[in-house]
Amino acid sequence: MENFKPTEYTLICVASGHEFNDEGWTLADRECTCPSLIRAHYANKQLEVKGDEYGLYKFCDWLPVSHLLKGSAAPVTYKSKGLGQYLGLENLWITFNGYNPSIGAQMTTCSFKETEAYAVCGRAKQDEQRVLVVASAGNTARAFAKVCSANNIRLLLVVPNDNIDALWFDEPLNPCVKVIACASGGDYFDAIHLSDLALKAQNFYAEGGAKNIARRDGMATTVLSATTTIGRIPDYYFQAVGSGTGAIAAWEANMRLVEDGRYGNHMMKLIVSQNAPFVPMFDAWRADSRAMLPYDDDKARRDVEIIDAKVLSNRKPPYGVVGGLYDALKATQGDIMAVTNPQARKAAKLFEELEGIDIHPAAAVATASLMKAVADGKVEKGATVMLNITGGGEKLFKSKREMWYLKPSHVFPLNPNVEDVVSKVEALFA
């Protein structure tokens, strides 16, 4: 691993097809006249999977990284026995992102957000002195905190104060990691707004969310894990979504695997799900609308309070942007489902009984959507199905450890004063 050379790639604008070089942290094509994602176009067309000692970077051929960080773990895919038999599915494959040593799963934040954090931080310059700013509903913040703390990367996390309990760790963090929060009653959208204000400070830079190719290609490793383990591209892909970025990443990985030529030439049908009553993308999809439908701010915040899977609460997702979730679903003949709290709780209980490990509420939403799809006859019994369990093993991980919680340095009102935010975040890293 000492001889690692930066992955070779160019960037392509989805809307125009314009190909250009990455200037180091390029998030969009400056020449494009409409909102569009950009994609990495890798020099290696066939994926060479490295050894397990590389962790997540076993897939570095298709990760836009300049260097490798310590402590990463890759998703683990295995063929389900319990849940598959219960649902009558002959080829149900579970891609597990979390902590379950019995199957080799070693993500100690218990979330697939680690795949994003290791890819994003591996894309950044090794000598980067600016402060990385990440807004999160919880799991993403925990993952970035772990990676940045272990690798001495300066990080400002911005989270809703109601979700602060998600920032748990098994040891105190490096002081290079700081967190601020928006006041109680705020949601992920409010955290994004606060992070935008923090970015007005000097020497702070945005992680970029779905616009960052490293974030999407990090999440795409779930599909690379599944396909290389199964030996073919799955027929169906199930995942719960807040922003839809993971599903966009799955579609992009699918296209690369088709180009690879060894795993099939078909597109997985993307079946994504939201936690009712917070279902803005479900509503837009049902209306066949590329644009998100109007959603009153106060109603959105109330709906977020109701749902179990708080991480699925993005009010401004990359849904209608060119190359976004709407396009991904159209291209794969996919669908969006809505799942209630009781349905997700039942699915979580069933998964733990049949597969032997606890899962996060978002993963339970995905499991419930698979159960509904099978019950409705939407999935053939012999189809190759990938269920992306985006978080799990937290109960197991915490059972033998003392937890340490990261507390916010400042809690700001939902409409804070810009100068106040800037002065306080600059002081945190002075």
260-307 pLDDT per residue, tens? 999 999 999 999 999 999 999 999 999 999 999 999 999 999 999 999
Categorize the per-residue pLDDT at 1 as very low, low, confident or very high, splitting at 50, 70 and 90: low
pLDDT of residue 400: 84
Query: Average pLDDT in the 24-44 region?
Result: 96
* pLDDT exceeds cutoff 80 at 167: yes
> Is the separation of the CB atoms in 275 and 344 below 8 Å?
yes
> Could you tell me what percent of the chain has a pLDDT over 90?
96
131-202+402-430 topology per CATH: Rossmann fold (3.40.50)
CA 404, CA 401: separation in Å to the nearest integer? 10
CA 78, CA 105: separation in Å to the nearest integer? 11
Nearest to 75 by CA among 55, 45, 54, 92: 55
Could you report the per-residue pLDDT of 296-312, keeping only the tens digit for each?
Answer: 999 999 999 999 999 99
Strands (E), 282-328: none
Do domains 76-108+214-397 and 131-202+402-430 share one topology? The answer is yes
pTM beyond 0.85, yes or no: yes
* pLDDT exceeds cutoff 90 at 156: yes
> Is the separation of the CB atoms in 133 and 204 below 8 Å?
yes
ω into residue 413 within 30 of 0, thus cis?
no
Radius of gyration of the chain (CA): 20
CA 304, CA 298: separation in Å to the nearest integer? 10
Amino acid letter at 2? E
Query: Average pLDDT in the 333-358 region?
Result: 98
Cross-strand pairs, 339: 275
CB atoms within 10 A of CB 126: 11
* Mutual angle of helices 188-198 and 418-428, in 10-degree steps: 70
Categorize the per-residue pLDDT at 146 as very low, low, confident or very high, splitting at 50, 70 and 90: very high
Helices of type H across 81-155 = 82-87, 113-123, 139-150
Question: What is the residue extent of each domain of the chain?
Answer: 76-108+214-397, 131-202+402-430
Angle 33-38-44 from CA coordinates, rounded to 5°: 145
76-108+214-397 topology per CATH: Rossmann fold (3.40.50)
Could you report the per-residue pLDDT of 213-257, keeping only the tens digit for each?
Answer: 999 999 999 999 999 999 999 999 999 999 999 999 999 999 999
* pLDDT exceeds cutoff 70 at 123: yes
CA 388, CA 226: separation in Å to the nearest integer? 9
Structure tokens at 230: 């199964």
> What are the CA-CA distances from residue 246 to residues 58, 92, 214, 429 (Å)?
19, 19, 12, 32
Structure tokens at 111: 């979330």
* pLDDT exceeds cutoff 80 at 2: no
The DSSP annotation for 179-238 comes to EEEEPTT--HHHHHHHHHHHTTSTTEEE--GGG-HHHHHHHTHHHHHHHHHHSS--SEEE
* pLDDT exceeds cutoff 90 at 76: yes
The answer for residues whose C-beta is within 8 angstroms of residue 403's C-beta and 6 or more apart is 168, 169, 170
* pLDDT exceeds cutoff 80 at 344: yes
Provide the mean pLDDT of the chain. 96
CA 339, CA 58: separation in Å to the nearest integer? 34
CA 8, CA 297: separation in Å to the nearest integer? 43
pLDDT of residue 137: 83
Query: Average pLDDT in the 402-414 region?
Result: 96
